[in-house]
Amino acid sequence: MEYSFVYFTSGSEEEARAIATRLLEERFIACANLFPISSLYIWEENLEEAREYAALIKTERRKVGRVIEEVKRMHSYDVPDVVEIPVGEGFSPFFAWISEVVR
């Protein structure tokens, strides 16, 4: 089995939590870490700064497409930052737990 983390940012804790909760309820993911971040970026030719929430979620690689589609569907941004981070080696009981939770 192969595993991935999926990372996305959101404009609020509430939105990040709602997306993560939905992904957990559907058993697309096993875990979500949510944390506040400061973001600097260019948007429509302007330098922007924002307080956002980031999510780092754990899943099996086979679920990544569905995870990304669900994040895009629920997200308020026109262009949400949602990317897969493939996972290499790790603690095998952790991976077994992910597989146990993800359907």
pTM of the model: 0.93
pLDDT at 48 over 90: yes
Question: In the predicted model, what is the mean pLDDT of residues 79-87?
Answer: 96
Which band of pLDDT confidence, cut at 50, 70 and 90, is reported for residue 17? Answer: very high
Q: What percentage of the chain exceeds 90 in pLDDT?
A: 98
Which band of pLDDT confidence, cut at 50, 70 and 90, is reported for residue 1? Answer: confident
Q: Domains along the chain? A: 3-101 (3.30.70.120)
Q: Provide DSSP, 4-67.
A: EEEEEEESSHHHHHHHHHHHHHTTS-SEEEEEEEEEEEEETTEEEEEEEEEEEEEEEGGGHHHH
pLDDT at 52 over 90: yes
